[in-house]
Chain A
Amino acid sequence: MKAFVYSDKSLGRYVGRFVWLSINTEAPESAEFLKRYPIPALPTLLVLDAPRSNVVLRYVGGANITQLRQMLDDAEQRVRSRAEASADQSLAAGDGLAADGQHAAAVKAYESAIASAPRRWRRLGRTTESLLFSLSMLPDKEGCATRAMALYPRVKGTVSSANVAAIGLSCAVSLDKEHKQRRKLLDALETATQEVFANKNIVLSDDDRSGLYIALIEARDAAGDEEGTIALQAQWASFLEGAAQRATTAEQRTVYDSHRVSAYLDLGTPEKAIPMLEQSERDFPDDYNPPARLALIYNAMKDYDKALAASDRALARVYGPRKLSVLSVRSDIYKGKGDLKAARDTIVEAIEYAKALPEGQRSATRIAAFEKRLAGLQEPQ
Chain B
Amino acid sequence: MKRLVLLAVLALSARAELPFIENDYRKAAAEAKAKNVPLFVEAWAPW
Contacts and interface: CB of A to CB of B under 8 A. Distances in A.
Contacts of B17: 6-7
Interface string A1-36: 110001111111011111111111111011011101
Interface in B23-42: 23-26, 28-29, 31-33, 35-42
Contacts of A45: 40-43
B19 A15 contact: yes
A72 B40 contact: yes
Main secondary structure of the interface of A (DSSP, over half): mixed
B1 interface: no
Interface in B2-35: 13-26, 28-29, 31-33, 35
Contacts of B31: 19
Question: What's the interface size class on A, roughly?
Answer: 35 or more
Contacts of B21: 19-22
Interface stretch (A49-57, A256-264, A365-373): A49-57
Given A15-B19, A50-B33, A53-B29, A20 B38 contact: no
A79 B31 CA distance: 16
Nearest to B14: A9
A327 B23 CA distance: 74
B36 to A, nearest CB: 6
A75 interface: yes
A26 B45 CA distance: 6
25 contacts: A6-B18, A9-B15, A18-B32, A18-B38, A19-B31, A20-B18, A20-B20, A20-B40, A21-B42, A22-B44, A23-B43, A23-B44, A24-B45, A24-B46, A25-B45, A27-B22, A27-B23, A29-B24, A37-B41, A42-B43, A43-B42, A47-B40, A49-B38, A50-B32, A118-B36
B45 A22 contact: no
Contact of A30 (B16, B23, B37, B40): B23
Given A20-B20, A22-B22, A30-B23, A47 B38 contact: yes
Interface of B: 13-26, 28-29, 31-33, 35-47
Given A9-B15, A20-B19, A24-B46, A51 B39 contact: no
A138 interface: no
Interface in A249-280: none
Given A8-B16, A9-B16, A21 B36 contact: no
Contact of A19 (B22, B32, B46): B32
Nearest to A79: B38
A42 B14 CA distance: 28
B7 to A, nearest CB: 16
Contacts of A9: 14-16
A245 B38 CA distance: 54
Contact of A75 (B26, B29, B38): B38
A151 interface: no
B3 to A, nearest CB: 22
Contacts of A104: none
Nearest to B31: A19
The winner among B20, B21, B23, B45 for most chain A CB atoms within 10 A is B23
B38 A56 contact: yes
The winner among B13, B33, B43 for most chain A CB atoms within 10 A is B43
B23 A24 contact: yes
Contacts of A47: 38-41
A340 interface: no
A119 interface: yes
Given A20-B40, A22-B21, 13 more contacts: A6-B18, A7-B15, A8-B16, A14-B18, A16-B35, A19-B28, A21-B21, A21-B23, A21-B25, A25-B45, A42-B44, A76-B38, A79-B38
